[in-house]
């Protein structure tokens, strides 16, 4: 059985995962309108992953006798300054999510809820991967700078990366 405090904290995380999904979906849609098909495909996959993170939390809360609440969300931005700005935002956002997961882990320890603590370890590992990937992408974009040719090849590489990512995620779900 979850305590009220843990239930509330998990529902807050559900909201954050849902808003991450919407945020990345908005970035994907913008990238698609810019002809950046690789970037948009990568971000569509990323948005789906965040939705999966949200659903995993909802199901966990419900299984443990709580109620996973589907949140109302604010509209994310419609346009973005550049591809680099998009991925800098992704990195910033992932760092924020990592901090929130760490806070959540801290709450479960204080509440002596070791089951939820154990469940959250999956999110702790996931955040390490997601932050590292976002950081790698930002570094690549810094190297490319204003080179349009470089951006063309970057976009092509992102298609390959999103295929790898989609495969890994479906393996995680299996």
Residues that bind ligand OFO (CB under 6 A): 17, 20, 50, 53, 94, 97, 126, 130
Minimum CB separation of residue 145 from ligand OFO in Å reads 27
Nearest CA to 7 among 72, 70, 71, 61? 61
Residue 92 or 110 having the CB closest to ligand OFO: 92
List for the chain the helix, strand, coil content (%; round to 5): 80, 0, 20
Minimum CB separation of residue 26 from ligand OFO in Å reads 14
Minimum CB separation of residue 130 from ligand OFO in Å reads 4
Residue 20 or 151 having the CB closest to ligand OFO: 20
Question: Which is it for the CA torsion 82, 142, 97, 174, positive or negative?
Answer: positive
Minimum CB separation of residue 17 from ligand OFO in Å reads 5
Whole-number Å distance between alpha carbons of 160 and 92: 24
Residue 100 or 150 having the CB closest to ligand OFO: 100
Whole-number Å distance between alpha carbons of 37 and 33: 9
């Amino acid at each position: 059985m979850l305590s009220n405090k843990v239930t509330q904290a998990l529902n807050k995380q559900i909201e954050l995962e849902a808003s991450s999904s919407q945020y990345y979906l908005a970035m994907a849609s913008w990238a698609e309108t810019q002809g950046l098909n690789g970037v948009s495909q990568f971000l569509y996959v990323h948005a789906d992953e965040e939705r999966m993170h949200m659903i995993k939390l909802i199901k966990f809360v419900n299984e443990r006798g709580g109620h996973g609440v589907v949140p109302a969300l604010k509209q994310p931005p419609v346009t973005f300054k550049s591809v680099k700005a998009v991925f800098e935002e992704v990195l910033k956002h992932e760092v924020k999510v990592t901090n929130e997961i760490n806070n959540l882990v801290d709450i479960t320890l204080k509440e002596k809820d070791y089951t939820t603590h154990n469940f959250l370890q999956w999110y702790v590992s996931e955040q390490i991967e997601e932050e590292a990937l976002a950081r790698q992408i930002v570094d690549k974009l810094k190297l490319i700078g204003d080179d349009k040719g470089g951006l063309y090849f970057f976009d092509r590489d992102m298609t390959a990366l999103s295929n790898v990512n989609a495969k890994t995620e479906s393996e995680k779900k299996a």
